Structure 1
Amino acid sequence: MRICLVASNRFPVREPFAGGLESMTATLARGLAERGHEVTLVAGPGSEVHPAVRLAPLATVQVSAAAMADRFAPGPEWLADHHAYLGLMLSLARTGARDFDVVHNNSLHHLPVSMASALDVPVLTTLHTPPLPLLESALALCPSPPRFVAVSQWTSDAWRHVVESDVVRNGLDLDAWSPGPGGGPAVWSGRLVSEKAPHLAIDACRAAGVPLVLAGPVQEPAYFASEVAPRLGGEVTYAGHLTGSALARLLRDASVAVVTPSWDEPYGLVAAEAMACGTPVAAFARGGLTQVVSAGSGVLVPPGDVAALAAAVVTAAGLDRRAVRAHAEATCGQDAMVEGYLAHYADLQHRVDAA
């Protein structure tokens, strides 16, 4: 099939990944290309993926100082998003049916949803977040909503008041995230932002007397400076923003992975990565994490309860690492994700052919 895979314009799809959306998109693009499909990835500048995947940059714009001086002018980030996806959808409206069999939207922007009905090629959108106001607005104006997939049953249920969606869980290359011996410090990984609350992981591990290594990009410098940096030191260290292979090495040696969302995680890819390495998870029970982490692969505690999380860090570290890996193999593999999306692409194509 000829697949147009649409990513975020804000972050390039390349190592080290800015977040789970970029990582999942790269894994999917590679998996589709390795099965012989013709994949075009439309993504932010600087993206680097599988050599068989064609890269197509999203449009950028530089408007005049006079235009930006307007007192109602949007911020530069909003304008960049708008221009990138408006340009993409207008291009697909002109030539999409000639170039592609399906468009798979992995962005969080409203224009690929609101303009899907203007295309002669079917559009599939993956829901990567809890409900967003601009997406709900776009759906309210769709005469016939495009097809949706959610990354977890929790996310599907969260969107049900607006749109129905099937579930295709995020997947990993299990060979890249291979099991290791454990026994080392606890690890917290992900975007260092307030909604991920790594400072609570530090507090819990200090209370438990367990060393902790943090890894990930600092995307909210003010939050990092006020809540994370002052807590570093002693047995709490920050390893930086690691590539997948470096993070996998860290997780293979970790005794436990700590996951501390202060929002409802749509899926929880960092937990899946840890479990694939055989490393059990201690986490707050929020959103999709409750469906990704099983009783045999981790310990979930009430959100925000640092004392309970400290106890969970100790308890989870004692779980059978072979059972944790087995759970990941059964639920988090790349093959199931790729085949799930291919089934949806084929169904969309069949509907077009039958129309």
Structure 2
Amino acid sequence: MRTLRICLIASSRFPISEPFAGGLEAHTHALAGQLRARGHEVSVFAAPGSDPALGVVELPVESFAPPPGERHDTGITPESWLNEHHAYLGLMLDLASTGSQRFDVIHNNSLHHLPIAMSTAIDVPMFTTLHTPPVPWLTSAVAYAAPTSTFVAVSEFTAREWSGQVACRTIRNGIDVDTWQPGPGGGPAVWSGRLVTEKAPHLAIDAARRAGMRLTLAGPSLDREYFDREIRPRLGAGIEYAGHLTHHELRATLGAASVAVVTPVWDEPYGLVAAEALACGTPVAAFARGALPEFVDESVGSLARADSVEDLARAMVAAASRDRGHVRRVAEERCSIARMVDQYELLYTGGHHRLAA
């Protein structure tokens, strides 16, 4: 395959560096690293503080302060929105001016509307990965997308969710299974991810207590009110919060776990934390929501009725008995980033007719 000059547009909200704020940042870092390892020239436009080893060009997310005396309106656009808007606007205007001289491909891996809405102004093929269900700021932008724009969903579930808005292909997310290595298991159950309401780690705690299992929580606490209300009072007596771990620390924690618990109370577009656990040989107990049933089944874990603590406790006990060697082998087949990048390379070079869903 010929070397491509790839512009990878990332999130401006969180740095693309460890410890990652969430799955989108981890996905972008892995994708950029794999493309560079295959010899492509990759420029990652991302938030300040992102990993310089990825060839990062920092988006100028500067703090906007209204001039003194400017009218203060209770309905004024939030300053954080303006900061991101101006950063992406500057990038898209720059790409409209010189992008065709610098890049062969633009891969929009952000959640911002401007790369989609301004794609008609840019004479470079644009590929947008849809990491969320349809949301107003993206669905409204789709109406202005260039006719040649290509949209990719991270799961079949997400593709179905977007089917009423835009036609998209499916390239399931992947992780580096050479980095996420199997561990011995046998330790406490683990819940990993952002400790926020929609991820519902408090339900994992309740299920662990019902199942009589110890549980370690790992991840950034981004909602102080939620943590103080739902998590802090539940800690102790076998329930531990380990904090926001590096990927090295998280791999060790997952590899030592008897089961990983995934508890979304919304429909996950993919569920990267489940794939990471499977690659560590750790079976997964999860609510059957969103895309999780596409790669978590009874051979590698157990699915529970959505939002049911009682059924999740049952699933945790059942999943812990799965064969860890088999779990790892299935992860290599279903969750490999090599498979994901193979498919993106086909897409970039016009071989999309050969893409498997």
Shorter chain as denominator, the TM-score bin is over 0.9
2:202 to 191, 199, 204: 199
Per the TM alignment, residue 290 of structure 1 is displaced from its structure 2 partner at its CA by: 1.2
Q: Would the aligned equivalents of 1:267 and 1:292 in 2 still touch at CA under 8 Å?
A: no
Per the TM alignment, residue 348 of structure 1 is displaced from its structure 2 partner at its CA by: 8.6
Moved more, 123-132 or 78-87: 78-87
Per the TM alignment, residue 57 of structure 1 is displaced from its structure 2 partner at its CA by: 0.9
Amino acid across the alignment from 1:256? V
2:87 equivalent in structure 1: 84
Does the alignment pair 1:155 with 2:158? yes
Per the TM alignment, residue 294 of structure 1 is displaced from its structure 2 partner at its CA by: 2.2
1:98 to 97, 101, 119: 101
Secondary structure of the structure 1 residue equivalent to 2:350: helix
- Shift in CA distance, 218/54, structure 1 to aligned 2, threshold 3 Å: same
1:60 equivalent in structure 2: 61
1:17 to 15, 20, 30: 20
Secondary structure of the structure 1 residue equivalent to 2:48: coil
1:302 equivalent in structure 2: 305
1:344 to 325, 342, 347: 347
Amino acid across the alignment from 1:218? S
Alignment root-mean-square deviation, CA = 1.6
The normalised TM-score by structure 2 is: 0.94
Q: How does 1:134-145 map to 2 (within 5 A)?
A: 134-142=137-145, 144=147
1:27 to 24, 27, 30: 30
Measured in 2, the distance between the counterparts of 1:69 and 1:47 equals: 34
Per the TM alignment, residue 295 of structure 1 is displaced from its structure 2 partner at its CA by: 2.0
- Any stretches of 5+ residues in structure 1 without a counterpart? 350-355
Does the alignment pair 1:122 with 2:125? yes
Secondary structure of the structure 2 residue equivalent to 1:56: strand
1:164 equivalent in structure 2: 167
- Shift in CA distance, 222/65, structure 1 to aligned 2, threshold 3 Å: farther
1:232 equivalent in structure 2: 235
Measured in 2, the distance between the counterparts of 1:187 and 1:265 equals: 18
Amino acid across the alignment from 1:4? C
Q: Would the aligned equivalents of 2:119 and 2:146 in 1 still touch at CA under 8 Å?
A: no
Measured in 1, the distance between the counterparts of 2:236 and 2:254 equals: 20
Identity %: 55
Q: Would the aligned equivalents of 1:122 and 1:348 in 2 still touch at CA under 8 Å?
A: no
Measured in 2, the distance between the counterparts of 1:332 and 1:116 equals: 31
2:327 equivalent in structure 1: 324
1:217 equivalent in structure 2: 220
- Any stretches of 5+ residues in structure 2 without a counterpart? 353-357
Structure 1 stretches of 4+ with a deviation exceeding 6 A read none
Q: Would the aligned equivalents of 2:108 and 2:126 in 1 still touch at CA under 8 Å?
A: yes
Measured in 2, the distance between the counterparts of 1:229 and 1:76 equals: 31
Per the TM alignment, residue 71 of structure 1 is displaced from its structure 2 partner at its CA by: 4.3
- Per-residue CA deviations over 1:3-57 (Å, capped at 9, x if unaligned) read 00111000000000000000010001000000110000000000015x3x32101
Amino acid across the alignment from 1:296? S
1:352 equivalent in structure 2: none
1:251 to 221, 245, 254: 254
Amino acid across the alignment from 2:59? L
Per the TM alignment, residue 142 of structure 1 is displaced from its structure 2 partner at its CA by: 3.4
Secondary structure of the structure 2 residue equivalent to 1:172: coil
Secondary structure of the structure 2 residue equivalent to 1:134: helix
Per the TM alignment, residue 303 of structure 1 is displaced from its structure 2 partner at its CA by: 0.6
Per the TM alignment, residue 72 of structure 1 is displaced from its structure 2 partner at its CA by: 3.9
Measured in 2, the distance between the counterparts of 1:149 and 1:334 equals: 15
Measured in 1, the distance between the counterparts of 2:146 and 2:20 equals: 36
Amino acid across the alignment from 2:289? R
Secondary structure of the structure 1 residue equivalent to 2:152: strand
- Per-residue CA deviations over 1:191-238 (Å, capped at 9, x if unaligned) read 000000000000000011000000000111111110111111110000
1:289 to 272, 292, 308: 292
Tell me the matched-pair count.
348
- Shift in CA distance, 96/225, structure 1 to aligned 2, threshold 3 Å: same
Amino acid across the alignment from 2:15? P
Q: Would the aligned equivalents of 2:48 and 2:60 in 1 still touch at CA under 8 Å?
A: no
Per the TM alignment, residue 172 of structure 1 is displaced from its structure 2 partner at its CA by: 1.1
Does the alignment pair 1:314 with 2:336? no
